[in-house]
Amino acid sequence: MAENTSELHPAGPIITRREAIQATAGAVALATLPHQSVAATNPPAAVMNDMTLTMTVNGRPLTLTVDPRRSLLDVLRETLDLPGTKKGCNQGACGACTILVNGKRIVSCLTLASMHDGAEIQTIEGLEKDGELHPLQEAFVKHEGLQCGFCTSGQIMSGLGCIAEGHAGSPEEIQFWMSGNICRCGAYPGIVAAVADAAERS
């Protein structure tokens, strides 16, 4: 005997197994529509043309062709093979990607490479000269301003900027002006001591 689909169940209307299978088959058919019919409602994004820019990176003049949507961090790491600048949060919150652009510290994940045509850029790779560490790098080693080392390049570049800005007059001042650089290992006492040491010698 056929099931009565109009009968109401105490928890609500009931459906037959046939009706359930038919409903499922309809959903599957919709999901397997040809790709072209779906794409027709979502036209492709406009193609972005690459752009040519010049910059000086660690004293080396370069001419680059880049996608204008790429961050400066990605260009440094992936195009120029300078992995010392770390990709941490990629949101500008941790400071691991700090570099110097025209002498000023910035987080490179939040800026586009295309915005820095003609800029002078310094990364951690450019500090060592002829096999000798930069005084701030030496100070980090001396004061053990690192543990895992992931944040260290950003800490050092930020420390250079902090000293150049005249914000390294006291441990408290260094802590304040370096607060954008996070060390998950908690090596802050050594970091502050290293920046103070290098500031006294500069």
Q: 26 vs 156, which has greater pLDDT?
A: 156
DSSP at 43: P
pLDDT band at 20 (very low <50, low <70, confident <90, very high): low
Q: Is the pLDDT of residue 160 over 80?
A: yes
pLDDT band at 41 (very low <50, low <70, confident <90, very high): low
Q: Is the pLDDT of residue 72 over 60?
A: yes
DSSP at 88: S
Identify residue 5 by its one-letter amino acid code.
Answer: T
Q: 24 vs 50, which has greater pLDDT?
A: 50
Summarize the confidence of residues 88-107 as an average pLDDT: 97
CA-nearest of 67, 69, 107 to 87 is 107
Contact at 8 Å (CB) between 14 and 7?
yes
**pLDDT for res 27:** 58
pLDDT band at 169 (very low <50, low <70, confident <90, very high): very high
Label residues 108-132 b or e (16+ Cβ within 10 Å = b).
bbebbbbebeebebbbbbbbeeeee
Summarize the confidence of residues 158-168 as an average pLDDT: 97
Q: Is the pLDDT of residue 112 over 90?
A: yes
pLDDT band at 48 (very low <50, low <70, confident <90, very high): confident
> What domains are defined for the chain?
10-39 (no CATH), 127-202 (1.10.150.120)
DSSP letters for 125-158: GGT-BTTB--HHHHHHHHTT--SS-TTHHHHHHH
Q: Is the pLDDT of residue 202 over 90?
A: no
Q: Which residues pair with 121 in a beta bridge?
A: 57, 101
**pLDDT for res 19:** 73
Q: Is the pLDDT of residue 11 over 80?
A: no
From first CA to last CA, the distance across the chain in angstroms is: 96
pLDDT band at 16 (very low <50, low <70, confident <90, very high): confident
Q: Is the pLDDT of residue 26 over 90?
A: no
- Flag whether the pTM goes above 0.85: no
